[in-house]
């Protein structure tokens, strides 16, 4: 090979190497971006749906069988939540989806999110309306910004009530999935009250078992959490 050909060959090799480096950098940047905002938009609706029998079982796992076996159970369908089991004790068990998270959550549209909850009668009559409203708006494929605006407008129109006195719920399922970072989190009870300060419940104080849910939510409630030591099936749960 003469000097001219060698020079051209070296130049071509350098160009190919440069192109490969640029392609690798672009792929890495795209991969980082996809990891940073993996749930920016709503996924296909079918990804949020479940087999009805599996959904009923998961919903019931939110509370001990002594409660959930007599509770009403809702399942998510293409038009919203529908009654799958008629209850006799006033409780309602449901598997909530990711659009019940705070509006600034990076997992707001995570289709893997499954949050089994059993609401007592007071919460079923009041707090559960928040789930119905958000689900209605999400299934209409509204953006999270529009859903937040609509929730605020519904509150202004008094369409979303404050929690009734005594409203509480069970989240004791070991099979829930509360996000990619949380997994099934901790077994706990939730107490839903009209907007309140931590001091009214002694929340977040040293030695207090009461934890204030500090996530920003527009609905007219404050949630106090009380972790418990076992899952709904009676097995030991990790401490908070």
Model confidence pLDDT, tens digit, residues 202-231: 999 999 999 999 999 999 999 999 999 999
Asked whether 49 and 76 are in contact (CB, 8 A), the reply is yes
**Digit-coded pLDDT (tens) for 48-90:** 999 999 999 999 999 999 999 999 999 999 999 999 999 999 9
Coil vs helix vs strand at 73: strand
Q: Which residue has the tokens 């939510």?
A: 217
Q: How far apart are CA 164 and CA 193, in angstroms?
A: 7
102 in Cβ contact with 217 (< 8 Å): yes
Q: Cα–Cα distance between 14 and 22 in angstroms, integer?
A: 12
Structure confidence at residue 36 (pLDDT):
52
CB 115 within 8 A of CB 178: yes
């Amino acid at each position: 090979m003469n000097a001219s050909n060698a020079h051209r060959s070296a130049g071509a090799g350098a160009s190919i190497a440069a192109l490969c480096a640029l392609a690798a950098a672009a792929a890495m940047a795209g991969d980082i971006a996809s990891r940073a905002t993996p749930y920016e938009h709503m996924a296909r609706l079918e990804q949020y749906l479940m087999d009805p029998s599996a959904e009923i079982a998961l919903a019931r796992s939110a509370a001990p069988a002594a409660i959930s076996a007599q509770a009403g159970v809702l399942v998510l369908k293409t038009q919203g939540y529908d009654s799958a089991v008629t209850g006799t004790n006033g409780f309602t068990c449901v598997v909530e989806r990711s659009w019940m998270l705070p509006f600034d959550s990076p997992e707001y549209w995570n289709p893997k999110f499954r949050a089994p909850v059993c609401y007592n009668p007071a919460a079923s009559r009041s707090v559960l309306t928040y789930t119905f409203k958000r689900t209605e708006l999400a299934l209409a494929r509204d953006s999270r910004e529009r859903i937040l605006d609509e929730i605020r407008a519904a509150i202004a129109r008094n369409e979303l009530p404050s929690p009734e006195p005594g409203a509480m719920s069970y989240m004791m399922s070991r099979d829930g999935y509360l996000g990619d970072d949380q997994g099934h989190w901790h077994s706990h009870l939730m107490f839903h009250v009209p907007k309140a300060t931590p001091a009214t419940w002694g929340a977040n104080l040293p030695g207090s078992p009461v934890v204030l849910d500090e996530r920003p939510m527009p609905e007219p409630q404050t949630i106090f959490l009380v972790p418990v030591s076992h899952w709904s099936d009676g097995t030991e749960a990790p401490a908070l």
